[in-house]
Amino acid sequence: MAHSYKTFARNWLTLADGGSGSWLYAREAAPGVWLFIEILDLVEYMGNDANVRWSASVDVVDLTTVSPNTLVSAMESCGGWFGEVDPTPLMLAEVLHSYGAKSPMWSGEAGIVSDRNRYDSPDERHRPFRDLRAQARREAEALLDADYRDEVLDTRIVNAIGQTAREYANGSDGLWTALRRIATDPSASVEQQIVLKMYANAGQTLGCGPVPDDLRN
């Protein structure tokens, strides 16, 4: 992670510019709320299993709502990257994004991989890359509207247990919120009820600590 950043387009910062097959861009949508666009070269990450060259995602990191437990875990995971430097809001947001404490808002793919082009060097001048990045930027910049952003964060369901995008970003705290909703929802799916029962019976998790008492059998 660099401490100085180039500019991409207008008001976007380039945090990674293709090294190790990844591009990462960030923009502050509101004080403490950061938008991220990430593009991956899937051939770099998946080798011969990749059928599509580029994968893009748009995520939100909200420093104003992240749980203290999630922030501490993310900072510990960075292995002392900060050193003696006081982290800026962007540094904290970048660490949370890398840790996975982010709200997934959009994803897309582009570029068919063939035997002929599989070993081409990835280049952001490629038309599929440019088109995908432009689409991701449009999706991200729609989230600059605060009302729309808050609505989508609270209504976009991102996984099978029914977590919203905002809940997903808050790690175990967001997981317990979703499980409590399942416990009181008569319309919860069979799969969701199975997940609830699994956690209730386990009592302890790998990585999320003990299951709260009110969710145990």
> How far lies 114's CA from each of 51, 65, 66, 111, in Å?
7, 44, 42, 10
**Whole-angstrom Cα distance, residue 132 to residue 110?**
6
**Domain spans of the chain, in order of start:** 6-155, 170-215
Q: pLDDT grade, residue 131 (50/70/90)?
A: very high
Residue pair 2/117 in contact (Cβ under 8 Å)? The answer is: no
> How far lies 77's CA from each of 37, 112, 133, 196, in Å?
22, 35, 29, 28
Q: What is the pLDDT of residue 60?
A: 98
The residue ranking higher by pLDDT, 172 or 105, is 105
- The label of the residue with tokens 């996975």 reads 100
Choice among 132-136, 167-171, 183-187, 202-206 with the minimum mean pLDDT = 202-206
**Whole-angstrom Cα distance, residue 138 to residue 147?**
17
Q: What is the pLDDT of residue 212?
A: 82
Mean pLDDT of the chain: 87
Q: pLDDT grade, residue 83 (50/70/90)?
A: low
Mean pLDDT of 63-73: 88
